[in-house]
Structure 1
Amino acid sequence: MTMPFSLTSLDGLAGLVDKLPTSDATAAQAARARQDTLTKPPGSLGLLEDLAVFMAGWRRTPRPRIDRAQALVFAGNHGICAQGVNPFPQVVTAQMVQNFRAGGAAINQLCGVNGAELSVIPLDLDKPTRDFTAEPAMSEAECREALNRGAEAVDAEADILVLGEMGIGNSTVAAALACALFGGRAEDWVGPGAGADDAGVARKIAAIEAGLTLHPERDPVSVLRTFGGREQAAICGAVLAARARRTPVLLDGFICTSAAAVLHAVDERLLDHALIGHVSAEPGHRRLLQALGKRPVLDVDMRVGEGTGAALALGVVRAALACHNGMATFEEAGVTSA
């Protein structure tokens, strides 16, 4: 895939936003004008109207369609599991990858019903990142490689991209990223993840506190390399690749959003093309969305990860475009508008 920027160095991320396309204001305005002529009270479809206008701007057409939706789930393993933060063994990451490929997971069902083509990308599962309580999780080369792998996985023909993740221990990683980027106490960001009990939550908090003390650097790229995993870096790469092609992105829950939050911390405009599929029941996610200034499409008490909330939200985006493109205007229907 030809990219309009280079990921040969992580240092270039700070100036990247000025090289990337922005939403087409003319197309968005035309879409809004169409919404105001459809056979309904203005604004009565609420968020559906906003989603249609959002899609119009990024796809550069007043009548956007989703002919091709891509879903990517990146999987990685984490050295922080050495601190006992995970209620399940790390072998479950690879086992779940096989489950995804066999069609047996929740994400398979939701992609199927909402029309997304799913690809699952394991990232060196036999080589976990390092324990960030002792050293940075990734070298710059490892982080850069994962970014590039994420970028390369994006389908240039996709009209929308759904992003998710899988990785035992990565709710701790997500909380560490969020805390390092946006401050507060570790316990403000930590939740049960895949099912940690009170003792497990305490271990997660202690691990994050130790990591934050050992690694005081707070610039976003250093935070990603120090506390993140390969799947988090890959999500960042995929978000950037989608932006280069004006492809809107649906982010999943806390773990996925915390990965993309690294880009927001670099420059908040880097997430202008990203929607949040849902607000996770993981307690740190609602706090994170407030920090990002993002509204979720759905709030349905989910926290399974895998991209499931984003895939479910895809159905809402499709519904928004069905109304936008399929409804009659007042003139077409012969209905008096005023």
Structure 2
Amino acid sequence: MSDRSLDLDDFSDLIERPHGGLRREAEERRALTGLPPRALGRLEDVGEWLGSAQARVPVRPITDPRLVVFAGDHGVAELGVSTRPAGTAKELVRELLDGASPAAVLARRFDVPVRVVDMALDCDPGELPAEVTRHRVRRSSGRLDIEDTLTPEEAEAAFRAGMAVADEEADAGTDLVVLGDLSVGGTTAAGILVAALCGTDASVVTGRGGGGIDDLTWMRKCAAIRDGLRRARPVLGDQLELLATVGGADLTAMTGFLLQSAVRHTPVILDGVVSAACALVGQRVAFRAPDWWLAGQAGGEPAQAKALDRLAADPLLEQGVEVGGGTGALLALPLVRAAAALAAELPVREGPEAEADAEPAGGAGVVDAT
């Protein structure tokens, strides 16, 4: 990939840390509410994270979140590594679009708009709305155990598509992204990425997937991850080539999305093992990028636990949700909204020391570092 025009090294210069200087102001403001330290537990941390991301104290309440779901089929599913037949991710997408999936129910309940981005579904583009398929790179990704999942050109196109979606969301005023994925075979690709980047073997990262696979299917999945890992290790020094080799179009786009969201100062809630694996790749590209991401919930996939440990990311919830589509991350959204509301609206004590903070909802008392 030496001739490509996309240079991932640029992200190291483009991505800044959230405004860490405001954490002290947030802590001081919390003290002026009269609450004892840590009285709100993790909600204090989340409120400070949001304030740093917004470069503002008190934090603005979350008003325009969006569920963004990247979708694709993976050729490795032909090996029987999932409970679902290969090439059927379109059915999962259709359930989400029709409002019939767990993620759709929660998004409707929490009043969160849903955006689906088809990167490599194995179906005719005409079977889905044009706004879903307009970024598609190819029809299904290659079989990662024996061939590259993407050509160099496809990998760059997928990565740029993810960046474009991040820009579109930032330009539209999205103030928090709930990130999800829908695929058949995607957790196998994610397991390879995590094992390769963490220097471990296939059995350590092979989980049961969203469908709770049986022992025989687990063995096939473990073998596929082992074979893919052999192909991934020689290209660890080049993250885009790594994604082309074993990641597929959806995971490549998600990585581009995460990094560009960090460039645009858009905070993101991660869902399950796939988004965690993409975040791990993103960390290799730009070490400051993970400061813009929050682990929503811990599922049952060992690869997710391995990735989050390497990212030093403590999940907000532990619900074991594995159905995908952003369901687990959506469960964390009410807590994030609650943290923002508490940080923004709890009254501070009156007096000389609190004079600057006397109007927590806006106006006086606002420290804006933008």
- TM-score, structure 1 length as denominator? 0.91
* Residue 167 of structure 1: how far off its partner (Å): 0.4
**2:48 matched residue in structure 1:** 53
1:195 matches 2:207:
no
- Do the aligned partners of 2:103 and 2:330 also contact (CA within 8 Å) in 1? yes
Q: Tell me the distance in 1 between the aligned counterparts of 2:271 and 2:140.
A: 23
Cα shift readout 1:214-250 (whole Å, capped 9, x = no counterpart)? 4432223322111102111111121122112211111
1:18 matches 2:13:
yes
Q: Tell me the distance in 2 between the aligned counterparts of 1:229 and 1:77.
A: 8
- Do the aligned partners of 2:17 and 2:289 also contact (CA within 8 Å) in 1? no
* Residue 91 of structure 1: how far off its partner (Å): 4.0
**2:93 matched residue in structure 1:** 97
Helix, strand or coil: the match of 1:235? helix
**1:230 matched residue in structure 2:** 249
- Do the aligned partners of 2:74 and 2:87 also contact (CA within 8 Å) in 1? no
* Residue 323 of structure 1: how far off its partner (Å): 1.1
Q: Tell me the distance in 2 between the aligned counterparts of 1:9 and 1:174.
A: 26
Name structure 1 gaps, 5 residues minimum.
1-7, 333-338
Cα shift readout 1:72-109 (whole Å, capped 9, x = no counterpart)? 01100111122221221134310111111111111112
Q: Tell me the distance in 2 between the aligned counterparts of 1:186 and 1:289.
A: 17
Q: Tell me the distance in 2 between the aligned counterparts of 1:86 and 1:214.
A: 21
Helix, strand or coil: the match of 2:178? strand
Q: Could you say what the CA RMSD is over the residues aligned between the two structures, in angstroms?
A: 1.7
**1:142 matched residue in structure 2:** 154
**2:196 matched residue in structure 1:** 180
Helix, strand or coil: the match of 1:229? helix
Helix, strand or coil: the match of 2:56? coil
* Residue 133 of structure 1: how far off its partner (Å): 1.6
**2:355 matched residue in structure 1:** none
**2:291 matched residue in structure 1:** 272
* Residue 44 of structure 1: how far off its partner (Å): 1.0
Name structure 2 gaps, 5 residues minimum.
123-138, 352-370
* Residue 33 of structure 1: how far off its partner (Å): 1.5
Cα shift readout 1:11-47 (whole Å, capped 9, x = no counterpart)? x212412122331234333222111111321221111
Q: Tell me the distance in 1 between the aligned counterparts of 2:323 and 2:5.
A: 34
Give the partner amino acid of 1:201.
Answer: W
Identity of aligned residues (%): 31
- TM-score, structure 2 length as denominator? 0.83
* Residue 173 of structure 1: how far off its partner (Å): 0.9
**2:274 matched residue in structure 1:** 255
**1:152 matched residue in structure 2:** 164
**1:217 matched residue in structure 2:** 235
Task: Evaluate the alpha carbon distance shift between residue 9 and residue 314 of structure 1 in structure 2; reply closer, same or farther with a 3 A threshold.
Answer: farther
**1:325 matched residue in structure 2:** 344
Q: Tell me the distance in 2 between the aligned counterparts of 1:209 and 1:275.
A: 29
